[in-house]
Amino acid sequence: MKFDRHRRLRKSEFMRDLVRETSLRKDDLIYPIFVVERDNVKKEIPSMKGVYQISLNLLEEELKEVYELGIKSVIFFGVPNHKDDVGSGAYDENGIVQEACKLSKKLYPDLIVILDTCLCEYTDHGHCGVIDPNTKDVDNDKTLPLLIETAVSQAKAGADIIAPSNMMDGFVTEIRKGLDDAGFYHVPIMSYGIKYASKFYGPFRDAAESTPSFGDRRTYQMDPANRLEALRELESDTREGADMMIVKPALSYLDIIRDVRNNSNLPIIAYNVSGEYSMTVNAIEQGLLDEEVIVEQMLSIKRAGADMIITYFAKDLCKKINEGAI
Ligand code: PBG
């Protein structure tokens, strides 16, 4: 025989099932929810079809759906009524995500609540920290105490996991210390430490009303051209005590997910971000692509090495998994 017969293992459905290397499980999926402080809002985000801004007083219904589908973890993003230059809504003990978290823990105590530790949704200028008036750039070390305060207020509200996404240097060290000092040594940190300055976040900024009013985030988020820099971030966050690592975005950064997988024993989470979601939804809606591309995208993320995926498709995927279609 002069050639290899790869098709032997592809010849039937059951045979393909038997040799399949990657799978998508409900346990892998984390669902993002945008909670608004204004009452009685359930508004579809124009740039993110199928994703809503939801008021606290309407959140119960949403959580019920999520829980009954079998989703085990959610991440809340807040849209506050009040914004100021120091993002005080982020560390208000009765702030919007703190209240969403308390409600969720009361209704579904076992549903894992992840809270995003960042100031951008709460600052009037839309940046992820406080601005140095001289340089007009985010002041790293002046931001850190506010992030600690935010993380502690989130832990007090009952958050199961703290997910800092602000990209300040030292945030893992500082937040870990802050949580430990406040008695929250059991609360893990899921670090968004490998976060690129990506245009794929565009629709999220509509949803979270967090577009910077001047400049951009390139002095704190990573350059999309860089690969080794991700390993330096990984090294620092691991040394500083991160329990899990997020890579973000996902689909244009599959090489980075693989690099992180090959260089770390921590659980890895990929954030399938808003722009990735919207591109896919639009292509499907226009009839350009079949909706099965969603599963293919998720499998590519898992194949690259991610253990979990934060995705706006989580509910749709769970429905398919429940129907046995995946
Ligand atoms: C910042 C944050 C962002 C996203 C998650 N957390 C936006 C940003 O850095 O501008 C983006 C997620 C997405 O695009 O889906 N708190």
Q: Whose CA is nearest to atom 6 of ligand 1?
A: 165
Residue 63 lies in a domain: yes
What is the structure's pLDDT at 131? Answer: 95
Please check if 38 is assigned to a binding site.
Answer: no
What is the per-residue pLDDT for 206?
86
List Cα–Cα distances, 132 to 78, 91, 137, 146, 289, in angstroms: 25, 20, 6, 15, 46
In-domain check, residue 105: yes
| Rounded (5°) CA angle 101-103-107 | 120
- pLDDT value at position 109? 98
Token look-up 């999520």 returns 66
Q: How far apart are CA 13 and CA 221, in angstroms?
A: 44
- Which stretches of the chain drop beneath a pLDDT of 50? none
In a domain, 259, yes or no: yes
For residue range 109-127, list pLDDT tens digits in order: 999 999 999 999 999 999 9
| Within-domain flag for 303 | yes
Whether residue 16 lies inside any domain: the answer is no
State yes or no: 312 annotated in a binding site: yes
| φ/ψ of residue 307, rounded to 5 | -90, -35
Task: Please check whether residue 14 lies inside any domain of the structure.
Answer: no
In this structure, what token pair is assigned to residue 163? 């997910």
Cα separation, 106 vs 127, in Å, equals 32
Q: For residue 249, report the distance from its CA to the centre of ligand 1, in Å.
A: 9
Read off the pLDDT of residues 269-325 as tens digits, 9 standing for 90 and up. 999 999 999 999 999 999 999 999 999 999 999 999 999 999 999 999 999 999 999
Does some domain include residue 272?
yes
What is the total residue count of the chain? 326
- Ligand 1 geometric centre to CA of 104 (Å): 22
Q: Which of 49, 106, 199, 248 is catalytic?
A: 248
- Whether 4 is in a domain gets the answer no
Residues flanking ligand 1, CB < 6 Å: 116, 118, 120, 165, 201, 204-205, 273-274
Q: Please state the pTM of the whole predicted model.
A: 0.97
143 is in which domain, residue-wise? 27-323
Residue 178 belongs to domain with CATH number: 3.20.20.70
Check residue 6 and give its pLDDT. Answer: 97
pLDDT at 1: 75
Total domain count, the chain: 1
Active site residue 142: no
Give strand pairing partners of 30: 73, 310
What is the rounded distance in angstroms from the CA atom of residue 39 to the CA atom of residue 36? 8
Give me the percent of the chain exceeding a pLDDT of 70: 100
What integer pLDDT is reported at residue 151 of this predicted model?
98
